[in-house]
Amino acid sequence: MDSAVKVRGLAKRYADVHAVRGLDLEIAKGETFALLGPNGAGKSTTVEILEGHRDRDAGEVSVLGSDPRAPSRRWRSRLGIVPQTANDVAEVTVRETLMHFAGYYPAPADPDEIIERVGLGDKAGARVRKLSGGQRRRLDVALGLIGRPELLFLDEPTTGFDPEARRRFWELIKGLDDTTVLLTTHYLDEAEALADRVAVINGGRIVAEGDPRTLGGRATSKATVSWADGEEHTSTPTKTVAGLMRHYDGEIPELRVTRPTLEDVYLSLLEEES
C-alpha cells in the first residue's frame, strides 16, 4: 500500500493516563479514513501527533513520508487542518480571510472558487463575526482546503451544520479525488457515507478496523425481519419474507428487514472492550 500515513507502536502518556497504547495505523494515499471512538479514547492525541502538534513517547510515525516530530514548512504546506474549534478573525470578511491564508501556501487554490465550493458565495463580503455557527464551520473547511492539501485532517467538520449543509459537505469531500482525508466524527452516518475504511479506537488502542459495510462482521450478521404480528432474526431473510407472503397471501403488514447499522456495531465493539 502506498501510504500517506504509517504508524507503528505509537504511545503517549500524560502522568498516570495512557492516552495511546501501542497503536498501529496505515492510511493509503487518496483514501478517506474515519477514526471513531468515544471522548477520551485517544483520537485527539493521535491526530495531534500526526499533525506535528504534539510529541510522542514511543513509536514510529510517517506522514507524507516525513516524521511529524521535525516538521518543515514545506511539509506543513502539504497538510490541510480543520480543527474542532477555531479562533475568529472577527473584523475581516470571508474573502479577506481566505486571501490572507492563501498567501501561506506555494500553490493555493483560488479563494473565490473555494468560497463557492463550501457554500459561502453569498457571504464572501460578510464579516466573520456575523456568520452563524454553521457558516463559520464552512469557513473552517475552506481554510483547510485553500492550500490544495495532499492530506486533509477533519475534526468533527459538520458540527453545527443543518442536514442540507451536511449533504453538500459530503459531496464536497467525495469530490477530493487526489486528497487523503483523515476524518474524526461522532456522526456514524457521516463515517459510513464518506469513509473507505474506518477504525474504532478505545482505551488508546485500535479495537476494530475495516470497510464500514463489513466492520465487525456486519455484512454477515443476522437480519431482523419484523412485521405487524412478530419478529425473527435470521440469516436467510428472503426465505423468511417468502414464507410470510404465502401466509398473508400477498402484502405483509408493517414489513421491515434490517441488518445491524454501523452504530450498532460501533456500540457493540465498545461494550466488548469495557
Considering the domain architecture, whether residues 135 and 181 belong to the same structural domain is answered as no
Pick from 66, 64, 75: which is nearest to 2 by CA?
Answer: 64
**Same domain, residue pair 89 and 73:** no
Residue 170 forms part of a structural domain: no
What is the per-residue pLDDT across 58-78, written as a single tens digit (0 to 9) for each?
Answer: 999 999 999 999 999 999 999
- Please indicate, yes or no, whether residues 107 and 239 belong to a single structural domain of this protein: no
Collapsing DSSP to helix, strand or coil, 23 comes out as: strand
Question: Which tens digits make up the pLDDT trace of 28-49?
Answer: 999 999 999 998 899 999 999 9
- In a domain, residue 93? The reply is yes
* 162: in domain: no
Res. 10 pLDDT band, cuts 50 70 90: very high
Domain shared by 74 and 179, yes or no: yes
Residues 91 and 203 in one domain: no
List the alpha helices (DSSP H) in 155-236. 163-174, 188-194
50 located within any domain = yes
Decide: 94 and 132 in contact? Cβ < 8 Å: no
Per the listing, cell 479562533 goes with: 87
| Domains of the chain: total | 3
Which cell is 158 given?
459538520
Q: Are strands 223-227 and 205-210 parallel, antiparallel or unpaired?
A: unpaired
Q: pLDDT at position 249, please?
A: 84
Interval 128-159: pLDDT, tens: 989 888 888 889 999 999 999 999 999 988 87
Q: How would you class 100 by CB atoms within 10 Å of its CB: exposed for 0-12, middle for 13-18, buried for 19 or more?
A: middle
Residue 196 and residue 73 share a domain: yes
pLDDT at position 172: 87
CA 190, CA 143: separation in Å to the nearest integer?
Answer: 21
Shared domain for 144 and 91, answered yes or no, is yes
**Residue 169 counted as domain residue:** no
Domain that holds residue 98: 84-149
Both 63 and 197 in one domain: the answer is yes
In a domain, 39, yes or no: yes
Q: Do the domain assignments include residue 168?
A: no
